[in-house]
Amino acid sequence: MAITKKPLVHQMESALQKFIQAAPDAPKMAKPVREPKAAEEDGVQITLRLSKAQLERLTKMAKRQGIARASYIKRAVFLQLEGDEAK
């Protein structure tokens, strides 16, 4: 099962607004204010291979805790790094 990114709604909305404003009869509007990027948008995407059994366990635990699999993985990596660096 592949993990896919959600569509970037802000980019689609921005492109739509640019298209509308480019029309010859478009009303003159003020430029929209850009929202600052979230810290996670500055992250790097990686590919991770897991066995089906590991993925099922991961999904089950993330669901039990009410968080996304990606959040579960990020937390696990964070906790492991913190423990290793403390040694």
Burial 48-72 (b: 16+ CB within 10 A, else e): eeeeeeeeeeeeeebeeeeeeeeeb
Q: How many CB atoms lie under 10 A from the CB of residue 21?
A: 13
CATH number for the domain that contains residue 73:
1.10.1220
Number of domains in the chain: 1
Q: Which of 14, 41, 42 is nearest to 29 (CA)?
A: 14
Residue 55 in any domain: the answer is yes
Query: What average pLDDT does range 52-66 have in this prediction?
Result: 96
Residue 61 in any domain: the answer is yes
Query: Is 0.85 surpassed by the pTM of this model?
Result: no
Residue 31 in any domain: the answer is no
Query: What average pLDDT does range 52-74 have in this prediction?
Result: 95
**Greater model confidence, 86 or 47:** 47
pLDDT score of 7 more than 80 = no
What domain range includes position 61?
50-87
Query: What average pLDDT does range 59-69 have in this prediction?
Result: 94
Residue 86: predicted pLDDT? 86
What value, to the nearest 5°, has the Cα angle with vertex 49 and ends 44 and 54?
120
Residue 66 DSSP code? T
